[in-house]
Chains A and B, each alone.
Chain A
Amino acid sequence: MNAREVVLGRVRRALADVPRGEEPEREPLERGYLESHQPADPVELLAENLADYRALVHRATAGELPGLVARLLAERGASSVVVPAGLPPGWLAEVPDEVRRVADEEAATARLLDGVDSVVTGCAVAIAETGTVVLDAGPDQGRRRITLVPDHHVCVVAVPERVVDSVPLALRRLDPSRPLTWISGPSATSDIELDRVEGVHGPRRLDVVLLGA
């Protein structure tokens, strides 16, 4: 008997008390919790919760965005930036040419990305109640490693289109077959005497731009 059969056999014997023919999915599961806690202004709450977890929150119109992105990169002194293949080209229009553009491609290995300062992406969904942005590796977000290795992430969230109230509503919008990264503030640890320290391995600075009309 292989290990698979051993384990499944043990599970079945352990469940001798469960009536044969009981079908779990026949009975609906009681979900008395709320689908959303109905925030009055989800975009405002998103901004508040992001800031509470030390993300830096900015607002911009489509016209203001290129200038803002250029300023955020300049503030960090970025001399290079990773660009996902499907990032709207206009977003980086005002970033000076001296700032080297690095394409998100197979050849952009982690080691190469380790020498890149910043990354600019869009986002799939943002969750107001938790202050979370979710990336799903879509064309404006790219491979998971490009938002991990560089030390500075600028994430642009189209509001209100990409914003949902709650975790349940976010899951409904997401496709489980895609690699997903949920980000709530910059990387952090409280492992040393419970002092919160921002930035261990992920980007130590997270700028979130709420892009409105």
Chain B
Amino acid sequence: MSGGTYLGMPAFPEAARAATRDERLRGNLRHATHTIRDKRARAVAELPDWAELRAAGAAIKDRTLRHLDGYLERLEEAVTAAGGQVHWAADAAQANEIVTRLVLRTGEREVVKVKSMATQELGLNAALERAGVRAYETDLAELIVQLGDDLPSHILVPAIHRNRREIRDIFAERMGDWGRPAPEGLTDEPADLAEAARLHLRQKFLDAKVGISGANFMVAETGTMVVVESEGNGRMCLTLPETLISVVGIEKVVPTWRDLEVFLQLLPRSSTAERMNPYTSMWTGTSDGDGPSTFHLVLVDNGRTDTLADEVGRQALRCIRCSACLNVCPVYERAGGHAYGSAYPGPIGAILTPQLRGVDTALDASLPYASSLCGACYEVCPVAIDIPEVLVRLRERVVEGGEATVGGTRVRIRPARGHAAERAAMRAARWALDHPGALRAGQRVAGRMRRLQPRRLPGPGAAWSRTRDVPPLPPESFRSWWRRTRGESGEAGR
């Protein structure tokens, strides 16, 4: 019932080629990404201090990551003091086992879920299903994906690959199997489809005894959890059930209450291009007579500490999952989300997945090549993750092997076979990074890299580089702005 699986998916170039041939998928994606992209630019332009907010966002996240152990301990203390229970999971199996046990202990066999990329990453729904527990996804898009026995393809609009006609058919055919059927004569008007979802899910919310969520932020100082959403299904899952289980990656912690002032400005404008999303819920432990009487927080590692161990790759953990990088990525636009083979599509997936899972499989090893290094993702990223820099680092790991941390242990990765053609390109790219002059030239990293690379990428990159269409670089990049205004010593500068 949790839909398809990412396991056994073909490597990026194969999957991307298939998606590129799918005209309708490409059309939907192009329309969607361009629409959000333009709206985002307008929402960001409203704030004259965007660059400073972005710098502060990056700096807060870097500071948190540098002292993650201390902040996690503080968070645990604060959540516990407020009446919550904190659990720790080193990997997906442990996390799923903990959640399953907590659900079974309530005696319930159904749970309502609010969209959470972490639980998607963990494969939680499938694990619950094996234990006889049905997990109902309650985001409209997740519902479409779940009813369609499908996989999400975009962080923010997971059903971006489905058009209204298909959604109508999925609702009409499948809702009845899951609960209240779709109304007779359902049309494909978005308002009608939303109404059908409202009616279908209302019963689930009113009956639910257990809710499962992720969180966008966790405040170490106060133990406060934050969930940002649009539809109200989050509020339903967070307030109506008796038991709430939040499953959250350890990198979602921020040090102080005040830090939210930065992220609550960065996130809505970057993701849905709104000044503020319709609903944000914040809760601290449990409150008497209001909301769940039992609150569990499951803190998940599952490769995050391996990512943290790499001084360059670490910055991927700053990600606040806004999806802005997807919407500007020429590769994503052509390849679609499924080609990335994980819960994390697009540029962020290309740097996060190979770090969370390692580069052992052909799919994961090919992800760092799923980019033209054009740098557009970096320019829009609200926490200034230098995605091209991490991609280069990971390509190096794939091609030349070297030290990495896998499952908490330091290992030496052997060079991947069959990538000999990349070696030349890698050497050239490394040259640029090894020469401070090239870096100081500011955003020219991306520009230079493009010149230093063959026009058409060899090997796995070839599939998309044929249709490559690189957006122009802005006149002054964040990096050059940062260097110009902060000098060389900025904490978040790299």
Contact = CB atoms under 8 A, between A and B. Distances in A.
B193 A192 contact: yes
A199 B194 contact: yes
Contact of A182 (B70, B206, B280, B408): B280
A58 B31 CA distance: 36
Nearest to B289: A106
A181 B49 contact: no
Interface stretch (A65-73, A88-96, A128-136, A154-162): A128-136
A157 B348 CA distance: 41
Interface in A168-190: 168, 171-172, 176-190
Interface stretch (B138-146, B364-372, B389-397): B138-146
Given A12-B69, A15-B68, A191-B140, A199 B308 contact: no
A172 B257 CA distance: 9
B168 to A, nearest CB: 9
Given A3-B90, A202-B231, A24 B290 contact: no
B96 to A, nearest CB: 13
A30 B164 contact: no
Given A33-B56, A143-B289, A195-B190, A13 B230 contact: no
Of B47, B89, B144, B198, the most chain A CB neighbours within 10 A belong to: B198
A32 B49 contact: yes
A11 B305 contact: yes
B144 A191 contact: yes
A100 interface: no
Contacts of B35: 194
A187 B233 CA distance: 9
Contacts of A76: none
A201 B164 contact: no
B94 A179 contact: no
A201 B204 CA distance: 12
A179 B231 contact: no
Given A187-B232, A189-B194, A11 B280 contact: no
A167 interface: yes
A203 B159 CA distance: 24
Contact of A145 (B239, B255, B284, B308): B239
Q: How large is the interface on B (under 10, 10 to 19, 20 to 34, 35 or more residues)?
A: 35 or more
B163 interface: yes
Contacts of B32: 193-194
A180 B281 contact: yes
Contact of A148 (B89, B138, B232): B232
Given A3-B88, A192-B164, A199-B194, A178 B59 contact: no
Contacts of A167: 261, 264-265, 276
Contacts of A53: 274-275, 278
A103 interface: no
A53 B141 CA distance: 21
A197 B194 contact: yes
In order of increasing CB-CB distance, the 7 nearest A-B pairs are: A202-B232, A201-B232, A32-B52, A10-B305, A14-B309, A130-B276, A182-B280
26 contacts: A3-B89, A7-B301, A10-B301, A22-B67, A29-B60, A29-B63, A32-B49, A53-B278, A110-B240, A127-B276, A131-B275, A137-B290, A144-B281, A144-B291, A167-B264, A176-B222, A182-B280, A184-B275, A191-B139, A193-B163, A193-B190, A197-B191, A197-B194, A201-B201, A201-B205, A202-B235
Given A24-B255, A179-B239, A191-B158, 13 more contacts: A11-B250, A13-B408, A30-B59, A37-B47, A106-B289, A144-B239, A145-B290, A168-B261, A181-B282, A188-B230, A189-B141, A194-B32, A194-B157
